[in-house]
């Protein structure tokens, strides 16, 4: 039996990058995946790859009416929701706090943080019925910080603390809440970030060097961890921010090596 057979997973930001890798792995593990995205082109491409048993919903995760509609459509079609994976996120702008505009700050907080509030607000009753779980995609920089990314790191630090509070609030209903925290992962968003850095040509060496395991991975390594967290194998894990980082947060080795190669 596959780990996620019969589970209905609502996945935000599931048409590109880590989210799409998660969608593929969830489907491979036997789940039915409902992808939310505000990008119709990538949404169509993703659902074509997944197949007709899965669903795609065009929605802005920062808009309450869109999220409420997506939850209702999922329940009407499949009758239940077992997992809500809050993966949608943006990293722009690459700037310190005083150079971040109010509009940029609001965009990051709305997509990265408010979206979790909205999916929980509209989806919690379904999760109570299924005794399901919530997975939040965070980032290692939410714990260790990162220069020139004040809004992004603030949003991910908030995701980490929110994950723990949600785990406590919903434990009485047997709902587990966890987060995954990647370091570097090759996604379209990361490659776009690299283009805005001073040493864009050295970004691949840099990204490999910050991971003690020696390489920057693709999104499938995050997806494998999410499959585990969504499954009954993780039935006694809640309130955990799981580093899927290749050891990037450990010791001084990664920092020194990165400095030497960039």
Select from 215, 214, 211 the least CA-distant residue to 243.
211
Q: What is the pLDDT of residues 95-141, one digit of tens each?
A: 999 999 999 999 999 999 999 999 999 999 999 999 999 999 999 99
Per the residue annotation, which of 122, 152, 170, 206 is the catalytic one? 152
User: Sheet of 176-182: strands edge to edge?
Assistant: 55-58, 32-37, 8-12, 83-86, 133-137, 176-182, 241-244
Angle between helices 17-28 and 188-195 (to 10 degrees): 160
Look at the chain and report how many structural domains it folds into: 1
The predicted model scores a pTM of 0.90
DSSP annotation of 248 reads T
For residue 253, pLDDT beyond 70: no
Determine contact, residues 182/139, Cβ cutoff 8 Å. Answer: yes
Whether 155 is covered by a domain: the verdict is: yes
Whether 200 is covered by a domain: the verdict is: no
Q: What is the pLDDT of residue 252?
A: 53
Alpha helices in 98-139 (DSSP H): 102-109, 115-130
**Which residues span the domain enclosing 161?**
8-186+218-247
* Among the ranges given (56-70, 191-205, 223-237), the one the predictor scored with the smallest mean pLDDT: 191-205
Which comes out higher in pLDDT, residue 198 or 232?
A: 232
Q: What is the pLDDT of residue 203?
A: 76
Q: What is the pLDDT of residues 161-211, one digit of tens each?
A: 999 999 999 999 999 999 999 987 877 766 766 666 666 567 777 777 788
Q: What is the pLDDT of residue 219?
A: 75
Whether 196 is covered by a domain: the verdict is: no
Q: Is residue 170 annotated as a catalytic residue, yes or no?
A: no
Whether 259 is covered by a domain: the verdict is: no
What does the alpha-carbon distance between residue 164 and residue 250 come to, in Å, rounded to a whole number? 22
Whether 139 is covered by a domain: the verdict is: yes
Q: What is the pLDDT of residue 211?
A: 81
Q: What is the pLDDT of residue 1?
A: 66
Q: What is the pLDDT of residue 262?
A: 32
What average pLDDT does the segment 52-65 reach? Answer: 98
Whether 258 is covered by a domain: the verdict is: no
What average pLDDT does the segment 247-255 reach? Answer: 64
Q: What is the pLDDT of residue 68?
A: 98
Which comes out higher in pLDDT, residue 146 or 87?
A: 87
Whether 260 is covered by a domain: the verdict is: no
Q: What is the pLDDT of residues 71-97, one digit of tens each?
A: 999 999 999 999 999 999 999 898 999
Whether 177 is covered by a domain: the verdict is: yes
The domain that contains 227 carries what CATH number?
A: 3.40.50.720
Banded pLDDT at 254 (limits 50, 70, 90): very low
């Amino acid at each position: 039996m596959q780990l996620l057979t019969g589970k209905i997973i609502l996945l935000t930001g599931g048409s590109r990058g880590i989210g799409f890798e998660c969608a593929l792995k969830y489907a491979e593990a036997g789940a039915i995946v409902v992808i939310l995205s505000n990008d119709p082109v990538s949404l169509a491409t993703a659902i074509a790859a997944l197949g007709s048993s899965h669903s795609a919903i065009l929605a802005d995760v920062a808009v309450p009416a869109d999220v409420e509609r997506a939850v209702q459509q999922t329940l009407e079609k499949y009758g239940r929701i077992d997992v809500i994976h809050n993966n949608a996120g943006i990293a722009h702008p690459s700037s310190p706090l005083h150079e971040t505009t109010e509009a940029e700050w609001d965009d990051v907080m709305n997509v990265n943080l408010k979206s979790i509030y909205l999916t929980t607000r509209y989806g919690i009753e379904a999760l109570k019925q299924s005794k399901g779980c919530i997975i939040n995609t965070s980032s290692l920089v939410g714990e260790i910080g990162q220069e020139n990314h004040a809004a992004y790191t603030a949003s991910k630090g908030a995701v980490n603390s929110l994950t723990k509070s949600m785990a406590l609030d919903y434990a009485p209903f047997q709902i587990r809440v966890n987060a995954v925290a990647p370091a570097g992962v090759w996604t379209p968003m990361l490659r776009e970030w690299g283009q805005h850095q001073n040493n864009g040509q050295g970004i691949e060496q840099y990204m490999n060097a910050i991971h003690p395991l020696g390489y920057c991975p693709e999104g499938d390594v995050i997806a494998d961890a999410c499959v585990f967290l969504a499954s009954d194998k993780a039935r006694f894990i809640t309130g955990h921010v799981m580093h899927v980082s290749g050891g990037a947060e450990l010791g001084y080795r990664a920092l020194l090596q990165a400095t030497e190669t960039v």
